[in-house]
Amino acid sequence: MPPAQALPLSWARVAERLKSGLVLVLRLALGGVLFYAGFLKLREGYAFAEAIANFRLLPAQGNQLLAVVLPWLEVATGLLLVFGVWVRAAGLLAGLLFVAFLGALATALWRGLDIECGCFGTGSAARVGLKALAFDAAWLLAALALLWSTPPAADQPPQRGKDEG
């Protein structure tokens, strides 16, 4: 058996592996948080609609519609990220979700509302405040980092070979 040959150390290769590992961690963490948050909200539709209404940003019909659509959007975005499908599109959607969450939290904080944030459904008892803002800002930065570090080719469908039907 020949002696093991040492591979030449290529810093570019090491950096590329670190970057791909970081992208994987970001993708799984961001996807996991969105999936979990959406799943919890799905279980408590009416209570979640009330939590949205407490922000006083939408009319009653808007609160109800958002309470139905938002959890499914979070679950779908989370699954896309976890399974690595349409990563850039899912990262963009995640970023837009966190921008909306930050906007809602900031307006509630600015208006002095002492309400539940509804971030992980109504059972979490998390309140609107600087902690919730920092949490969402961190996840927004994670979504932006994912967008920045994922090549556009990651959203391309697999190419079929010439011999395939």
Per-residue pLDDT of the chain (165 residues; tens, 9 = 90+): 555 555 556 877 777 777 778 889 999 999 999 999 999 999 887 899 999 999 999 999 999 999 999 999 999 999 999 999 999 999 999 999 999 999 999 999 999 999 998 888 777 778 899 999 999 999 999 999 999 888 777 566 556 655 554
Which tokens go with 87?
């990563």
| CA 117 to each of CA 26, 55, 62, 120, 125: distance values in angstroms, whole numbers, following the listed order | 24, 9, 17, 8, 8
pLDDT of res. 121? 76
Is residue 134, in this structure, part of any structural domain at all?
yes
pLDDT of res. 164? 52
Q: Residue 50 belongs to what domain range?
A: 20-150
pLDDT of res. 6? 54
CA-based torsion, 118, 76, 26, 28: positive or negative: positive
pLDDT of res. 105? 96
Is residue 122, in this structure, part of any structural domain at all?
yes
Is residue 10, in this structure, part of any structural domain at all?
no
pTM for this predicted structure: 0.81
Q: How far is CA 126 from the centre of its chain?
A: 18
Q: How far is CA 165 from the centre of its chain?
A: 36
Burial classification of residue 9, based on how many CB atoms lie within 10 Å of its CB (0-12 exposed, 13-18 middle, 19 or more buried): exposed
- Whole-angstrom Cα distance, residue 127 to residue 117? 5
Is residue 29, in this structure, part of any structural domain at all?
yes
pLDDT of res. 83? 95
Is residue 79, in this structure, part of any structural domain at all?
yes
Is residue 87, in this structure, part of any structural domain at all?
yes
Looking at the structure of the chain, the number of domains it has is 1
Is residue 156, in this structure, part of any structural domain at all?
no
pLDDT of res. 161? 59
CA-based torsion, 30, 76, 70, 127: positive or negative: negative
Which tokens go with 4?
């093991």
Is residue 9, in this structure, part of any structural domain at all?
no
pLDDT of res. 108? 95
